[in-house]
Structure 1
Amino acid sequence: MSKFGMMKQTMAQIERFRLIQIGLYTLLGIVLYASMYSNVKPEELDLRLLSISPQTVYSPITIEDKESTDEKRKEAQQAVKDVYTLKTEYAQNRVDLVASIFNAIMEVNEEFEQSEVTDQDVEQVIQAKRELLSDKLPADIQKSLSSKTINQLLQSTQQELSIAKDAVVTGVHHVMKDRITVSEVENKKEQIKNQLIYTNVNNELKESMYEIAHFSIIPNVIYDPKKTAENRQEAVERIDPVRIKQGQIIVEESQLITAEIYRQLQLVGLLNDEASVQPFVGLLLLIMIMIGFIMYYFKDFNTKSSQTLLLYVIVFTITMILMKILSLFQEMELSEIGFLMPVAAGGLLIRILINERIAIISSVVFAICGSIIFNGEMTTSINVHVGTYFLLGSIAGILFLSKQHRRSRILQAGLFVSLVNVGIILAMQLIKNSQLSTVELSYYGIMAISSGIIAAILTIGLLPFFESGFGILSTMKLIELSSPNHPLLRKILTETPGTYHHSVMVANLSESACETIGANGLLARVAAYYHDIGKTKRPQYFIENQMNISNPHDKLSPEVSKNIIIAHAIDGANILRKHKLPKEIIDVAEQHHGTTLLKYFYYKAVEGTEEKVDEKDYRYPGPKPQTKEAAVICIADSVEAAVRSMTNPTPEKIEGLVRSIIKDRLQDEQLNECDLTLKELELIAKSLCETLNGIFHSRIEYPEMKKEKVKA
């Protein structure tokens, strides 16, 4: 096939892969939407104005009652009185005005007395004085005072005018210093008249004084529109919006639906003739966001993504179906039936079959869905209590399960979930400050414990079906492959007994080391049994099988020898594929030597020729170990072979050899592609040393054995 044809085929496979993924995500969205559709559908009520309500109606939402709010704010605005500001300068202005009037009159009289005109009669004198006064007193003030008053002042003596001036100025100042509104002006004028009545002047002058005083008294408070507006705005802002709160009773059973109640029912959307699409749009948006998170967490899967995604969709669908079926019992008035839901089963299955990250995000999705599905007895659309209960319980089981997948561990996780569930329910009741009876607490406790136990039972029961149906390497499958009666193990035993013994030793070392670091010990043991299956093709070329025969490599060139040795990893993987063994075991057969160097034949080749020998030609093709189990087998394989070649192994020598091999693997970058930590490598080293010391422990020499040695 041409390069272009291969590229076209690859693109077609990618396109098919994407279509499958889109189809599975669409199916997941349909499952979510179908399971929550009825829970977000608005309740339909047949309520009419001035009719009797057949039931108690609660508000499904919190919403502002703008009409009531506006009404309250108008009332508050109208309750604010107009603001009037006292003008203190008005008192001084009117006092100065009074003084100016009297001063002008007194100046006119004084100037006229100094003139030489003496033969005029009274009227002519007054007329002459008024002409002089017109230059000293504005015309508008003269018009405000009667002619009689002006004439009387012009006829009075300077002493009388001085007394009158002082009295009027004092009276005006005394009255004007207080607040005077428009309605109070007449009273204040009467008040100043009462003060001036006792002035020691003739009655005619008193009348003039009264008129000037009355003219001087004016309102000294004026309407302040700006301050009034500010006060009214503050009063409006102090009024909080009137809200109809979620869960608030709008109309009770058998209560008359008044116009106000009917308006509130309409406001919260309970009387809409046309079905609202908002809840369904909101649900669709929520589902899209949740699926977006799931897609993000699935992006790391590549080779088996479609199969893994299909497995995920099935587990997710089963969990949602169980959730929906259990929610139907809410109609039977079973209080808080959601606490019985074994939602942790979904999280545990996803944790075991896929990985921890996707299990945790799925727990969040289950919690959100559960809070909507189990809202039957709630006045809100979301049951926060059930959502919290689902989330924490499911995550507790996932974290407890950790790296170990044994059946007993699953049961322990279920019991731990039960304990956490009880704690969550107790915490929520204490937060709500609820007064629950012993019977109610027992009821909740039984549901919480049952939820965890049922989750563990469901996980253990469904796990084998998923493992066999999707070709997942299960514990039962590993036990089956570890049987000595398996055809491939019998082939190793009969054709390469030395390799079989070596494989059993590596299996013992690997299993112990893997369990120490929390890896799958059983997988490591079974994979170690098969890791050297490729040696059965040319058994005599491997030293553990060279009993009573010469080493054939002595007669071969280093290049041929290295090809034979390197081929056993590739041959082993091909044999395992042919017999359809699980991929995890095939990977170990390919990776257990990584890209390590065949040092013996490399140095032999370097010594045997003067030409430059490329080190890459004497390295295994790899790949390097990709998992913890493969890395442990890689180390244990070298350690077992090296310790077996030691003449007198001691604990000190064994430990030095183990650490030297691990150090060599690190420096050769053979462990770069697996997720082993330095701490785990230290635990592996200790485990290998303990196991090897148990195998090669010192034996007590009995007297008979000593005599035989002496004779020898």
Structure 2
Amino acid sequence: MEKMQQHFIRIRKLLDYTFFRVLFFLVLGLALYASMYSNVKPEKLDLSLFSVAEKTIRSPATIEDKKSTEIKRQEAVDQVQDVYTLKKEYTQNRVDLITSIFDTASEINDEESKSTKKENDVKTTHDEEPSVSEKVSKLKDNLTENVTKDLPDSVFTALVQADKDELSITKDLTVTAINNVMTKRISTNDVENAKKRVEEELKYSTLNDDLKSAAIELGRYAVVQNEFYDPVATEDLRKQAAEGVESVKILQGQIIVEEGELINQEIYRQLKLVGLLDNEKSYKPFLGLFILITIILLAVNYYFYQTKTQQEKRQTNLLLFGIIFVLSIFILKVISMLQIFNYSGIGYLFPAAMGGMLIKILIDEKLAILTSIIMAVCGSIVFNEGVTGTLNFSEGIYILFSSLAGILFLSSHNQRSKILQAGSITAGVNLITIWALMFLPNGQFSGLEYGYYFLTALVSGIASAVLTIGLLPLFEASFGILTTMKLIELSNPNHPLLRKILMEAPGTYHHSVMVANLSESACEAIGANGLLARVGSYYHDIGKTRRPNFFIENQMHLENPHDKLPPEKSANIIIAHVTDGANELKKYHMPKEIIDIAEQHHGTSLLKFFYHKALQNEEEPKEEDFRYPGPKAQTKESAVVGIADSVEAAVRSLTQPTPLLIESLVKKIVADRLQDGQLNECDLTLKELEAVTHTLCETLKGIFHSRIEYPEMTKKVKQA
């Protein structure tokens, strides 16, 4: 295991270089590409025109059939009738024309009548009254050439010969007949029929024959075509018809050809359209997979390099993530190979929650959620056998919900039994998710199928927990990772080193427990790892077990051996407990964080008691000889444990510890450490240091609170 850990350390150090980080992501990308390559590779179909399909072929995607759409639109356009517009103004124009003819004839008749009357009044002789032909000529002169050319002279003769009343009646009848006919549509082919309708309407009038004939001729002349083809309106109507036609689409999963059916030209065209012919040359699926993997890797890279963590820890987490992720993908791919047995829902066996729970315990919950999303996407591609299209959305949803359930229900992972509990709850979530996916399409399932899905959900959840429990110690040992569960295990009083402290140095054991209580509450007050501080406190003085009697808490009112030793020798013995403790912890392969607390809890502080004692014996003793070797505290937890260690020992030495005296002593010890530079190398702020001081004071006041003196006990003491 140590060799494996050394190998991982070497690989982790390589990740400090940009080249190897890029290489790491390339390897990760290749693993993803290799696992999903076969699932996106287009299916090879050996089909030819007019051959018989050996199996039912469905469309792999939804695609528009442009040719069929165009044919359908053309059919809709062809069904549109030409648009003809009724020109209503034509009716008025023709009525006005006929009216003007009648009015002109009436004016000519009136002029002649007035002229005759005037000549009679003055009793003068006059020439003969103008002849009919002269009147006709005069009428024609007042009309247009087209009118005189199209109408026969008999019409004009009848008009000039009629009296005023007859002419008025004839005009009214003619105009009415024209209006009645021309208010209706008259196409090119219907003009003659319309003329006949006018003729029929006037034929039964009470006019004399000459005027009736004239009226009929004028009516027929007035009736013209009033309905004309409108190209603009017709084109607009055709466009609307074309736009109203929905696109013809070949839907994903739609059967293009059934087994045993002849592949005719239309079917062959559709097969080609959806990309099932000559698909070996298609590069789009592989390009899509490449883009998808690139997005995944960029998301992972962004997560790791935007988090504010130490570089060493970041590289360790990156390597750990890579191993867990590749392992999950490997299990995913192996299970997907079982699809050859055509078992429905075989993908539900995948222990989806395993990767998420491992990453949450060993690294971070946010990264675990990101991993769940990535695994859901990959799973929907890997388990696409037997579904139309590239993505199996049901499998993706199942993996996502299962993994998130494992992460969320592992909120309190203080014991390994919590993992099994989370796995059991995940199995229940798996079952509910499967039922939801079964019921959504309103499918019909047998009791055997329900039992099968229940079994797969149970196996997936429990397998996730079992694999997590089994792999967790391997990752912890290989990477030297200290998890909450590991800390809980190390805090067990039956641990060999804790039993050693209890048996060989009981005073130190009691002191360590007191320091653990103090440091845990102080760390929690500033948001540090209180459990790490507690467990580190248990082991921080393990080095005292080598010479327990040289430490005052273990002397039990015995003679102090330091009284017979020179201060330099005593200082060496006291200082040695730090290095002895670190060596003892390394011998038991304790986590690095625990060893660091043991090495750093005194930092490079000065043994003031023996230094001042040496000052009394010598003129100028070397201060370096009375300082701990360090290093100084590198983390908040180490700094807090060191302060709590000094505070507990100092307060315990007080004969009458009052709240005011405790607070004064704590503040003095913290100030001394700060002035001595013992807190310079950790990221403990002054605000946090103030919170630590306050918490230590409150905790110590609770421990060393005043107690009343019981009367019976006092009486017995006096009698004794």
**TM class by shorter-chain length?**
0.7 to 0.9
- Residues 67-102 of structure 1 deviation map (CA, whole Å, 9 limit, x = unaligned): 111111111122222222333333222221111011
- Residues 346-374 of structure 1 deviation map (CA, whole Å, 9 limit, x = unaligned): 11122222221211111111111001001
Structure 2 letter corresponding to 1:191: R
In the TM superposition, what are the counterparts of 1:204-223 in structure 2 within 5 Å? 204-223=210-229
CA contact (8 A) 1:372 1:382 kept: yes
SS at match of 2:312: coil
CA contact (8 A) 1:531 1:572 kept: no
SS at match of 1:85: strand
Q: How much does 1:504 deviate?
A: 3.7
Q: How much does 1:406 deviate?
A: 2.2
Q: Structure 1 CA distance, aligned partners of 2:444 and 2:143?
A: 89
SS at match of 1:201: coil
Residue 6 of structure 2: aligned partner:
none
In the TM superposition, what are the counterparts of 1:212-251 in structure 2 within 5 Å? 212-251=218-257
Residue 185 of structure 1: aligned partner:
191
Q: How much does 1:284 deviate?
A: 0.5
Q: Structure 1 CA distance, aligned partners of 2:476 and 2:15?
A: 28
Query: Is 1:93 aligned to residue 101 of structure 2?
Result: no
Q: Structure 1 CA distance, aligned partners of 2:445 and 2:695?
A: 53
Q: How much does 1:25 deviate?
A: 0.8
Residue 199 of structure 1: aligned partner:
205
Q: Structure 1 CA distance, aligned partners of 2:423 and 2:368?
A: 15
In the TM superposition, what are the counterparts of 1:565-576 in structure 2 within 5 Å? none
Q: Structure 1 CA distance, aligned partners of 2:75 and 2:328?
A: 56
Q: 1:596 to 1:393 in 2, by over 3 A?
A: farther
CA contact (8 A) 2:60 2:253 kept: yes
Query: Is 1:506 aligned to residue 515 of structure 2?
Result: yes
CA contact (8 A) 2:536 2:597 kept: yes
* Of 428, 433, 445, the match for 1:436: 445
Query: Is 1:280 aligned to residue 289 of structure 2?
Result: no
Q: Structure 2 CA distance, aligned partners of 1:593 and 1:361?
A: 41
- Residues 118-174 of structure 1 deviation map (CA, whole Å, 9 limit, x = unaligned): 44884xx51x33443345222222222223323333333333322211110111122
Q: Structure 2 CA distance, aligned partners of 1:470 and 1:352?
A: 13
Structure 2 letter corresponding to 1:426: W
- Residues 235-263 of structure 1 deviation map (CA, whole Å, 9 limit, x = unaligned): 22221111111111111111222222211
Structure 1 letter corresponding to 2:50: L
Query: Is 1:709 aligned to residue 711 of structure 2?
Result: no
In the TM superposition, what are the counterparts of 1:570-585 in structure 2 within 5 Å? 582-585=591-594
Residue 606 of structure 1: aligned partner:
none
CA contact (8 A) 2:186 2:226 kept: yes
SS at match of 1:303: helix
Residue 614 of structure 1: aligned partner:
none
Q: 1:489 to 1:454 in 2, by over 3 A?
A: closer
Q: 1:114 to 1:483 in 2, by over 3 A?
A: closer
Q: Structure 1 CA distance, aligned partners of 2:140 and 2:694?
A: 120
Query: Is 1:137 aligned to residue 138 of structure 2?
Result: no
Q: Structure 2 CA distance, aligned partners of 1:375 and 1:255?
A: 26
Query: How many residues align structurally?
Result: 661
State percent identity of aligned pairs.
45
* Of 375, 379, 386, the match for 1:370: 379
Q: 1:89 to 1:489 in 2, by over 3 A?
A: same
Residue 644 of structure 1: aligned partner:
652
In the TM superposition, what are the counterparts of 1:670-709 in structure 2 within 5 Å? 673=684, 692=703, 706=714, 708-709=716-717
Q: Structure 2 CA distance, aligned partners of 1:522 and 1:91?
A: 103
How high is the TM-score relative to the length of structure 1? Answer: 0.79
SS at match of 1:199: coil
Residue 344 of structure 1: aligned partner:
353
In the TM superposition, what are the counterparts of 1:45-444 in structure 2 within 5 Å? 45-115=45-115, 118-119=127-128, 122=131, 125-126=132-133, 128-272=134-278, 274-299=280-305, 300=307, 301=309, 302-402=311-411, 404-444=413-453
CA contact (8 A) 1:64 1:241 kept: yes
C-alpha RMSD of the superposition: 4.8
- Residues 593-650 of structure 1 deviation map (CA, whole Å, 9 limit, x = unaligned): 899999999xxxxxxxxxxxxxxx9xx99557445xx577467546644653465779
SS at match of 2:85: strand
SS at match of 2:228: strand
CA contact (8 A) 2:490 2:535 kept: no
Q: How much does 1:330 deviate?
A: 0.9
Q: How much does 1:530 deviate?
A: 3.4
Q: Structure 2 CA distance, aligned partners of 1:418 and 1:196?
A: 97
CA contact (8 A) 2:15 2:21 kept: no
Q: Structure 2 CA distance, aligned partners of 1:505 and 1:162?
A: 132
Q: How much does 1:706 deviate?
A: 4.7
- Between stretches 474-483 and 409-418, larger displacement belongs to 474-483
Structure 2 letter corresponding to 1:644: R
Q: Structure 1 CA distance, aligned partners of 2:111 and 2:48?
A: 94
Residue 447 of structure 1: aligned partner:
456
Q: Structure 2 CA distance, aligned partners of 1:677 and 1:252?
A: 74
Residue 5 of structure 1: aligned partner:
none
CA contact (8 A) 1:94 1:217 kept: yes
Q: How much does 1:522 deviate?
A: 6.6
Structure 2 letter corresponding to 1:438: G
Q: 1:15 to 1:641 in 2, by over 3 A?
A: closer
Q: How much does 1:710 deviate?
A: 0.5
Residue 6 of structure 1: aligned partner:
none
Q: Structure 1 CA distance, aligned partners of 2:38 and 2:187?
A: 69
SS at match of 2:55: coil
CA contact (8 A) 1:484 1:490 kept: no
Structure 1 letter corresponding to 2:432: G
Unaligned runs of 5+ in 2: 1-12, 117-125, 611-626
Q: Structure 2 CA distance, aligned partners of 1:420 and 1:690?
A: 48
Q: 1:583 to 1:160 in 2, by over 3 A?
A: same
Q: How much does 1:189 deviate?
A: 1.4
- Residues 245-283 of structure 1 deviation map (CA, whole Å, 9 limit, x = unaligned): 111111111122222221111111111264211000000
Q: How much does 1:483 deviate?
A: 8.4
Q: 1:422 to 1:486 in 2, by over 3 A?
A: closer
Residue 614 of structure 2: aligned partner:
none
Structure 1 letter corresponding to 2:42: P
Q: Structure 1 CA distance, aligned partners of 2:517 and 2:642?
A: 13
Structure 2 letter corresponding to 1:50: F
In the TM superposition, what are the counterparts of 1:588-627 in structure 2 within 5 Å? 588-589=597-598, 623=633, 625-626=635-636
CA contact (8 A) 1:51 1:257 kept: yes
Q: Structure 1 CA distance, aligned partners of 2:239 and 2:63?
A: 24
CA contact (8 A) 1:595 1:624 kept: no
Q: Structure 2 CA distance, aligned partners of 1:484 and 1:216?
A: 124
CA contact (8 A) 2:353 2:402 kept: yes
Residue 40 of structure 2: aligned partner:
40
Query: Is 1:457 aligned to residue 466 of structure 2?
Result: yes
Q: How much does 1:686 deviate?
A: 13
Q: Structure 2 CA distance, aligned partners of 1:321 and 1:489?
A: 43
CA contact (8 A) 1:129 1:154 kept: yes
SS at match of 1:51: coil
Q: 1:286 to 1:707 in 2, by over 3 A?
A: same
Q: Structure 2 CA distance, aligned partners of 1:449 and 1:271?
A: 43
Structure 2 letter corresponding to 1:181: S
Structure 1 letter corresponding to 2:394: H
CA contact (8 A) 2:582 2:599 kept: no
